[in-house]
Structure 1
Amino acid sequence: MKYKVPALLILAATMYSCASKSSAPTVAVSTEKALTPELAEGKSLYENNCSSCHKLYQAKDFSAEQWKPIVLRMQKKARLDDAQGQKIYNYLTMN
Protein backbone atom coordinates (compact mmCIF):
# COMPACT_ATOMS: atom_id res chain seq x y z
CA MET A 1 0.00 0.00 0.00
CA LYS A 2 2.95 2.31 0.69
CA TYR A 3 4.04 2.25 -2.95
CA LYS A 4 0.61 2.37 -4.59
CA VAL A 5 -0.20 6.01 -3.75
CA PRO A 6 3.17 7.46 -4.91
CA ALA A 7 3.11 5.25 -8.02
CA LEU A 8 -0.39 6.48 -8.87
CA LEU A 9 0.69 10.10 -8.35
CA ILE A 10 3.71 9.65 -10.61
CA LEU A 11 1.57 7.93 -13.24
CA ALA A 12 -1.04 10.72 -13.09
CA ALA A 13 1.64 13.43 -13.36
CA THR A 14 3.23 11.69 -16.34
CA MET A 15 -0.10 11.30 -18.12
CA TYR A 16 -0.98 14.95 -17.46
CA SER A 17 2.35 16.24 -18.76
CA CYS A 18 2.09 14.14 -21.93
CA ALA A 19 -1.50 15.11 -22.67
CA SER A 20 -2.36 17.47 -25.49
CA LYS A 21 -2.51 21.10 -24.38
CA SER A 22 -5.14 22.30 -26.85
CA SER A 23 -8.63 22.43 -25.45
CA ALA A 24 -10.53 22.77 -28.70
CA PRO A 25 -9.65 22.02 -32.31
CA THR A 26 -8.74 25.08 -34.33
CA VAL A 27 -10.50 25.77 -37.59
CA ALA A 28 -8.84 27.86 -40.27
CA VAL A 29 -11.16 30.56 -41.55
CA SER A 30 -10.44 32.04 -44.94
CA THR A 31 -10.73 35.82 -44.99
CA GLU A 32 -9.99 35.98 -48.69
CA LYS A 33 -12.82 37.33 -50.81
CA ALA A 34 -14.17 35.38 -53.75
CA LEU A 35 -12.51 36.71 -56.88
CA THR A 36 -14.16 37.32 -60.20
CA PRO A 37 -12.51 35.56 -63.15
CA GLU A 38 -10.81 38.82 -64.19
CA LEU A 39 -9.45 39.47 -60.68
CA ALA A 40 -8.32 35.84 -60.41
CA GLU A 41 -6.44 36.27 -63.68
CA GLY A 42 -4.87 39.48 -62.33
CA LYS A 43 -3.80 37.64 -59.19
CA SER A 44 -2.31 34.85 -61.26
CA LEU A 45 -0.46 37.30 -63.50
CA TYR A 46 0.84 39.16 -60.45
CA GLU A 47 2.04 36.04 -58.68
CA ASN A 48 3.58 34.38 -61.74
CA ASN A 49 5.26 37.38 -63.39
CA CYS A 50 6.25 39.63 -60.52
CA SER A 51 7.62 36.97 -58.18
CA SER A 52 10.22 35.90 -60.73
CA CYS A 53 12.23 39.08 -60.05
CA HIS A 54 11.37 40.17 -56.49
CA LYS A 55 9.24 39.44 -53.45
CA LEU A 56 5.54 40.11 -53.80
CA TYR A 57 4.11 43.06 -51.94
CA GLN A 58 0.74 42.95 -50.24
CA ALA A 59 -1.96 44.93 -52.02
CA LYS A 60 -2.45 47.02 -48.90
CA ASP A 61 1.22 48.09 -48.88
CA PHE A 62 0.44 50.86 -51.39
CA SER A 63 -2.58 52.99 -52.23
CA ALA A 64 -4.28 52.85 -55.64
CA GLU A 65 -2.45 56.04 -56.67
CA GLN A 66 0.90 54.55 -55.63
CA TRP A 67 0.23 51.29 -57.49
CA LYS A 68 -0.36 53.08 -60.84
CA PRO A 69 3.27 54.02 -61.64
CA ILE A 70 4.60 50.85 -60.04
CA VAL A 71 2.44 48.58 -62.19
CA LEU A 72 3.18 50.64 -65.32
CA ARG A 73 6.95 50.48 -64.74
CA MET A 74 6.95 46.78 -63.88
CA GLN A 75 4.59 45.96 -66.76
CA LYS A 76 7.22 47.16 -69.20
CA LYS A 77 10.00 45.21 -67.47
CA ALA A 78 7.91 42.02 -67.43
CA ARG A 79 6.88 42.57 -71.07
CA LEU A 80 3.17 42.49 -70.29
CA ASP A 81 0.60 44.16 -72.50
CA ASP A 82 -1.73 46.91 -71.31
CA ALA A 83 -4.64 44.52 -70.70
CA GLN A 84 -2.50 42.31 -68.47
CA GLY A 85 -1.14 45.33 -66.59
CA GLN A 86 -4.69 46.59 -66.04
CA LYS A 87 -5.76 43.19 -64.67
CA ILE A 88 -2.87 43.24 -62.21
CA TYR A 89 -3.72 46.83 -61.22
CA ASN A 90 -7.40 45.90 -60.74
CA TYR A 91 -6.44 42.95 -58.56
CA LEU A 92 -4.09 45.04 -56.40
CA THR A 93 -6.61 47.84 -55.92
CA MET A 94 -9.81 45.80 -55.52
CA ASN A 95 -10.23 46.80 -51.84
Structure 2
Amino acid sequence: MKRIILAGSLAAVALLSCTPKASTAASPVLAVSTAEQIAQGKTIFENSCGRCHKLPDPAKHTPVQWVGIMNSMAPKAKLTDEQHQWVYDYVVSVKK
Protein backbone atom coordinates (compact mmCIF):
# COMPACT_ATOMS: atom_id res chain seq x y z
CA MET A 1 0.00 0.00 0.00
CA LYS A 2 2.84 2.38 0.88
CA ARG A 3 4.40 1.75 -2.55
CA ILE A 4 1.17 2.72 -4.32
CA ILE A 5 0.89 5.95 -2.34
CA LEU A 6 4.56 6.74 -2.93
CA ALA A 7 4.27 6.00 -6.67
CA GLY A 8 1.17 8.20 -6.93
CA SER A 9 2.88 11.02 -5.06
CA LEU A 10 5.97 10.81 -7.26
CA ALA A 11 3.83 10.82 -10.40
CA ALA A 12 1.98 13.93 -9.20
CA VAL A 13 5.25 15.73 -8.44
CA ALA A 14 6.68 14.76 -11.84
CA LEU A 15 3.58 16.01 -13.64
CA LEU A 16 3.55 19.31 -11.77
CA SER A 17 7.25 19.88 -12.41
CA CYS A 18 6.64 19.66 -16.18
CA THR A 19 4.36 22.66 -16.45
CA PRO A 20 5.58 25.66 -18.47
CA LYS A 21 7.58 28.17 -16.51
CA ALA A 22 5.78 31.38 -15.66
CA SER A 23 7.55 34.49 -16.82
CA THR A 24 8.91 36.60 -14.02
CA ALA A 25 7.80 39.69 -15.96
CA ALA A 26 4.21 38.47 -16.12
CA SER A 27 1.52 39.43 -13.68
CA PRO A 28 0.42 36.83 -11.13
CA VAL A 29 -2.65 36.22 -13.27
CA LEU A 30 -2.34 33.58 -16.01
CA ALA A 31 -0.30 35.19 -18.80
CA VAL A 32 -1.75 34.95 -22.28
CA SER A 33 0.51 35.70 -25.22
CA THR A 34 -0.68 38.23 -27.76
CA ALA A 35 -0.93 37.42 -31.45
CA GLU A 36 2.33 39.31 -31.97
CA GLN A 37 4.09 37.28 -29.28
CA ILE A 38 2.78 34.02 -30.75
CA ALA A 39 4.13 35.15 -34.16
CA GLN A 40 7.48 35.79 -32.46
CA GLY A 41 7.20 32.31 -30.94
CA LYS A 42 6.83 30.86 -34.44
CA THR A 43 9.93 32.71 -35.61
CA ILE A 44 11.91 31.56 -32.57
CA PHE A 45 10.68 27.99 -33.10
CA GLU A 46 11.75 28.00 -36.74
CA ASN A 47 15.11 29.71 -36.18
CA SER A 48 16.26 28.39 -32.81
CA CYS A 49 14.84 24.89 -32.92
CA GLY A 50 15.46 24.42 -36.64
CA ARG A 51 19.11 25.32 -36.19
CA CYS A 52 19.86 21.96 -34.54
CA HIS A 53 17.29 19.51 -35.91
CA LYS A 54 14.33 18.99 -38.20
CA LEU A 55 11.29 20.81 -36.86
CA PRO A 56 8.51 18.62 -35.52
CA ASP A 57 4.96 19.24 -36.71
CA PRO A 58 3.41 21.19 -33.80
CA ALA A 59 0.03 19.54 -34.39
CA LYS A 60 1.51 16.06 -33.83
CA HIS A 61 1.86 16.63 -30.08
CA THR A 62 -0.66 17.47 -27.38
CA PRO A 63 -0.21 20.52 -25.13
CA VAL A 64 0.86 18.18 -22.31
CA GLN A 65 3.50 16.58 -24.55
CA TRP A 66 4.73 20.03 -25.55
CA VAL A 67 5.26 20.90 -21.87
CA GLY A 68 7.82 18.11 -21.55
CA ILE A 69 9.41 18.85 -24.92
CA MET A 70 9.69 22.56 -24.17
CA ASN A 71 11.04 22.04 -20.66
CA SER A 72 13.70 19.75 -22.12
CA MET A 73 14.66 21.81 -25.17
CA ALA A 74 14.27 25.47 -24.09
CA PRO A 75 17.42 25.45 -21.93
CA LYS A 76 19.42 23.92 -24.80
CA ALA A 77 18.16 26.67 -27.12
CA LYS A 78 18.96 29.24 -24.41
CA LEU A 79 15.42 30.66 -24.49
CA THR A 80 14.36 33.23 -21.94
CA ASP A 81 11.25 32.50 -19.89
CA GLU A 82 9.28 34.84 -22.17
CA GLN A 83 10.56 33.16 -25.34
CA HIS A 84 9.81 29.75 -23.82
CA GLN A 85 6.21 30.86 -23.22
CA TRP A 86 5.82 32.35 -26.71
CA VAL A 87 7.13 29.22 -28.43
CA TYR A 88 4.91 27.04 -26.27
CA ASP A 89 1.89 29.22 -27.03
CA TYR A 90 2.72 29.05 -30.75
CA VAL A 91 3.08 25.25 -30.93
CA VAL A 92 -0.14 24.61 -28.99
CA SER A 93 -2.01 27.11 -31.17
CA VAL A 94 -1.33 25.10 -34.34
CA LYS A 95 -4.45 23.13 -35.18
CA LYS A 96 -4.50 19.64 -36.60
Aligning the two structures, in what range does the TM-score lie when normalised by the shorter sequence?
Answer: 0.5 to 0.7
**Counterpart in 2 of 1:41?**
40
**RMSD value, Cα:** 1.4
Q: Deviations over 1:16-51 (max 9, x none)?
A: xxxxxxxxxxxxxxxxxxx92111100000000000
- Unpaired runs of 5+ residues, structure 2, are 1-33
Identity %: 36
Report the equivalent of 1:53: 52
CA distance in 2, matches of 1:66, 1:53: 20
* Highest RCO, 1 vs 2 (Cα 8 Å, sep ≥ 6): 2
Partner of 1:83: 82
For the pair shown, the structure with the greater C-alpha radius of gyration is 1
Which of structure 1's runs of 4+ aligned residues deviate more than 3 A? none
Q: How many residues are aligned here? A: 61
Q: Which amino acid aligns with 1:44?
A: T
Q: Secondary structure at the match of 2:66?
A: helix
